Structure 1
Amino acid sequence: MRVVALEEHFSFPDMVARLSPAARAQAGWPPADAPNSPQQQHAAQLAEIGPERLRLMDEAGVTVQVLSVAGPGAELLPPAEAPAFAREYNDRLAQAIAAHPDRFAGFAHLPLTHPKAAADELARAVETLGFVGALVNGTTNGLFLDDPRFAPLLARAEALGVPLYLHPGIPPAPVRDAYYSNLPHELGFNLGIAGFGWHAETAIHVLRLVLAGALERYPRLQLIIGHMGEMLPVMMARCDQILAPKVTQLPRTVSQTLRDQVHITTSGIFTRPPLEAALATFGLDRVLFSIDYPFAPNAPGKAFLNGLQMAPADLEKLAYGNADRVLKLAR
């Protein structure tokens, strides 16, 4: 069976090395040589887009990876520098995809500190390089995409008909200080990222786009979020109760807006209860398979997919059909 995984990551060490240590530290990233950081632990796998990655895909039965930059990246650079950095990243990714066009596709890396340039780079990446959307890593200078300055990007994504994948990022400094400081053994960092914090942050990112009316202004815009919906499936009824249309003054309920404009993936979460919640709230047509390579290995992700007791047609939608449709992947 064809299998498409669409939250799969890479980074080029020489480009990461161009980011100043001061900018990394201010954004909350560990030093580049910190041995226990996720980026350092998986540095070799992130850097390689070739035989070894393909071998691991083949072993697990993954047909296509949709590749995206694992931060840090252009979001740490000033507006004058970020566009060229993002453009180079995208050009180099396009070269890697061109070597194996039946195995890889790409999400654009965007210079979000320069929103107009980000919109233009998204258009170039889609129209010239053949990318299938863009991935955004968390906040940019503490701002979510509902901020009015990002309107050009939202409008361009809607006009191009490509999704924006909202991926977690390192929490801003005030959040790190208030929520994740003063824990032993540097556990605050892990709690603030994959241990819990950045899943909540991505849910807040989506809810802000709903409540700010951004998804009403761009009703054809489609978003993707990972990790079985970043806890939103279990909170949708609660959101509808507390944030009803009479409170939000928006025409749709929160849950209806989510079901209209958000897709979710299985990335990094391979147990049945979260999937059941995702299917019950978003519906099968809005759930897409992902692994989160290399931060999650291919084998357990594919084993989870293989173990699902689903009708063959439903399993095909989850494994590849929904991704092919949403991303317009060529067969």
Structure 2
Amino acid sequence: MKIIALEEHMLPRDIIEAAGVDLGLRAGKRAAELDEVGEARLRVMDDAGIDVQVLSALSYFVQGLEPSRAVDVNHRINDRLAEIVATTPDRFKAFAALPMSDPSGAADELTRCVEELGFLGAMIHGQTNGVFLDDPSVRPVLEAAARLDVPLYLHPAPPPADIVSTYYSGLTPEVGACLSTSGWGWHSETAMHVLRMVAQGVFEELPELKIIVGHMGEGLPFHIDRIEDMLSPVVTGHSLSVAETLRRNLYLTTSGYNSDIPLLCAINAFGVDRIMFSVDHPFAPSEKATTYLASAPLETADREKIAHGNVEKLLNI
């Protein structure tokens, strides 16, 4: 069975160090694995039975830099990604990193990456300096993605300092860091980010815009009926309800989730055609993810869709 993994991170250490960016504790521990896109990564893929990784830079460190620096650093990261893909095109594809502090520059960079470098879309990491994707200032990026017919993968990012202070203070540093990110906060914030886009009419204005979220839907499948009951009555004047909009514009990946209950919930809420395989390398083990995919309670046709068919259709691979 062919397997394409969709949320697989990299980060060129030399470019990040030259930019003077601190990777912090979590990413810093994985710096060598993030930087490795050669034989060692290919061995991980081979051992797990993964045919293709769609690479994305863990670029929340640089997407919100001062605009001119952000444009320069993200441009260099994307050029490096293009070199990696060109070296091993049968094993690697790429999502662009975007300088979101300069929306016009980000739209131009997305266009360059898709039209000139052959990238399949872009990954955006949460809000940028307090600005969410429903803000009119970032509409050029969304318009470019819709025009180019490529998805934006909305990935979590560390929360702003005031959120950390309000919600995660009084905890040990390790517990607070985990609870504010991968242990809970990332998922709820990303789900809220998507719902802001729905409520603010982004998908009414751009009905063809495609958004991908990871981690089996960031909790949205579990909550979708409650969201529909409570939020749809107050989001007025739209052609579709909140749940209808989510099911039209949103795609989910399995990244980091390898158990039946969230998978079956996602399938029941969104349909198997909206779900795609991911690992979240190097933050999750590839072999664990593919082993679960092979044993999950799925019909053969549905397993093939999640493993490769749905992403091939979405990304025109």
TM-score, with length taken from structure 1? 0.93
- Structure 2 Cα separation of the partners of residues 41 and 297 of structure 1: 15
Code of the residue aligned with 2:33 in structure 1: it is Q
- Structure 2 Cα separation of the partners of residues 246 and 93 of structure 1: 43
Shift of 1:185: 4.3
Shift of 1:120: 0.6
Shift of 1:245: 4.2
Task: Please list every run of at least 4 consecutive aligned residues from structure 1 whose deviation after the TM superposition is greater than 4 angstroms.
Answer: none
SS of 1:285's equivalent in the other structure is: helix
| Residue number in structure 1 paired with 2:96 | 108
- Structure 1 Cα separation of the partners of residues 105 and 232 of structure 2: 36
| Residue number in structure 1 paired with 2:179 | 191
Code of the residue aligned with 1:49 in structure 2: it is V
Residue 240 and residue 230 in structure 1: after superposition, are their counterparts in 2 closer, same or farther (change >3 A)?
same
Say which of 38, 45, 54 aligns to 1:50: 38
Code of the residue aligned with 2:210 in structure 1: it is Q
Shift of 1:253: 1.2
| Residue number in structure 2 paired with 1:274 | 262
Asked whether the equivalents of residues 74 and 85 of structure 1 are also in contact (C-alpha less than 8 Å), the reply is yes
Code of the residue aligned with 1:126 in structure 2: it is V
Structure 1 position 5 matched with structure 2 position 5: yes
The answer for unaligned runs of 5 or more in structure 1 is: 31-36
- Structure 2 Cα separation of the partners of residues 79 and 133 of structure 1: 21
TM-score, with length taken from structure 2? 0.97
Equivalences for residues 137-286 of structure 1 within 5 A = 137-245=125-233, 247-286=235-274
SS of 1:76's equivalent in the other structure is: coil
Say which of 282, 286, 289 aligns to 2:277: 289
Asked whether the equivalents of residues 245 and 251 of structure 1 are also in contact (C-alpha less than 8 Å), the reply is no
The count of residues paired between Structure 1 and Structure 2 equals 317
Code of the residue aligned with 2:265 in structure 1: it is A
CA deviation digits over 1:82-117, x for unaligned, max 9?
Answer: 111111100011001111101000000001000001
| Residue number in structure 1 paired with 2:73 | 85
Asked whether the equivalents of residues 19 and 76 of structure 1 are also in contact (C-alpha less than 8 Å), the reply is no
Equivalences for residues 118-137 of structure 1 within 5 A = 118-137=106-125
Shift of 1:38: 2.3
CA deviation digits over 1:207-251, x for unaligned, max 9?
Answer: 010000011100000000000000000111111111124543322
Residue 149 and residue 328 in structure 1: after superposition, are their counterparts in 2 closer, same or farther (change >3 A)?
same
Code of the residue aligned with 2:195 in structure 1: it is L
SS of 2:96's equivalent in the other structure is: coil
Asked whether the equivalents of residues 16 and 72 of structure 1 are also in contact (C-alpha less than 8 Å), the reply is no
CA deviation digits over 1:270-298, x for unaligned, max 9?
Answer: 11100011000010000001010000011
- Structure 2 Cα separation of the partners of residues 164 and 90 of structure 1: 15
What is the percentage of aligned positions where both structures have the same residue? 46
SS of 2:67's equivalent in the other structure is: coil
The answer for unaligned runs of 5 or more in structure 2 is: none
SS of 1:263's equivalent in the other structure is: strand
CA RMSD of superposed structures (Å): 1.2
